[in-house]
A and B are shown apart, each in its own frame.
Chain A
């Protein structure tokens, strides 16, 4: 492994490492926060940055072929679905929480 292949391997390692580290930060955040809406903030990170950078790393490692196109499709699909998922989960939390108004300060009143 010399020259161009070595550079490709190092770049792929870098992006995969960023993805795995993002997932680690996500897990730490989910266990550290006390309120469910704050946990949602930590979990939304892994869906977008973690998955995107991991798949970009795998794309660099695989080279240009049909697999790369499929990975691009997965990333584009996740861009659309992940915000919808997080929005629906936040809606569920706000709807079902009985004491939501007590710890959510309303400045309009």
Chain B
């Protein structure tokens, strides 16, 4: 317990404790998502892990904006949502196109 309090640091208000513990938990989940992206046998698994990491990162940015009291970090969160959506769409479209081309060349 003492180790956890040392990790969180300043515990003067309950808001700080809440935000920092949420941040630490979500960072742990991010590491597990990375493990899934490395292990995943199929390309769909890897893209799925990237998508999950995107949504967890959005929550981390929103929590950080509340912790620091900076509203403009939420604009970055909105841009991050758009970019992570675009990345998944482009990767899937390119991968399906390349796969179909290779299939036709084999024939």
Contacts and interface: CB of A to CB of B under 8 A. Distances in A.
Given A50-B55, A51-B55, A93 B14 contact: no
The 10 closest A-B pairs by CB, nearest first: A93-B44, A70-B74, A81-B85, A88-B92, A92-B92, A54-B59, A85-B88, A27-B32, A67-B71, A47-B55
Contacts of B33: 27, 30
A89 to B, nearest CB: 5
Given A66-B71, A97-B42, 17 more contacts: A30-B48, A31-B36, A36-B42, A43-B52, A50-B55, A51-B58, A54-B63, A55-B59, A58-B66, A62-B66, A67-B71, A70-B75, A85-B89, A89-B88, A90-B44, A91-B96, A92-B43
Q: How large is the interface on A (under 10, 10 to 19, 20 to 34, 35 or more residues)?
A: 35 or more
Given A13-B18, A78-B81, A81-B85, A36 B45 contact: yes
A99 B33 CA distance: 26
Interface in A5-46: 9, 12-13, 16, 19-20, 23-24, 26-27, 30-31, 36, 39-40, 43, 46
A29 to B, nearest CB: 11
Most A CB within 10 A of own CB, among B22, B82, B96: B22
Interface of A: 1, 9, 12-13, 16, 19-20, 23-24, 26-27, 30-31, 36, 39-40, 43, 46-47, 50-51, 54-55, 58, 61-62, 65-67, 70-71, 73-74, 77-78, 81-82, 84-85, 88-93, 95-97
B71 A77 contact: no
Interface string B46-82: 0111011001101100110110000100110110011
A95 B96 CA distance: 7
Contacts, number: 129
Given A51-B58, A61-B66, A85-B88, A73 B78 contact: yes
Interface residues of B, number: 44
B87 to A, nearest CB: 10
Grouping DSSP codes into helix (H, G, I), strand (E, B) and loop, the A interface class, with mixed when no group exceeds half, is helix
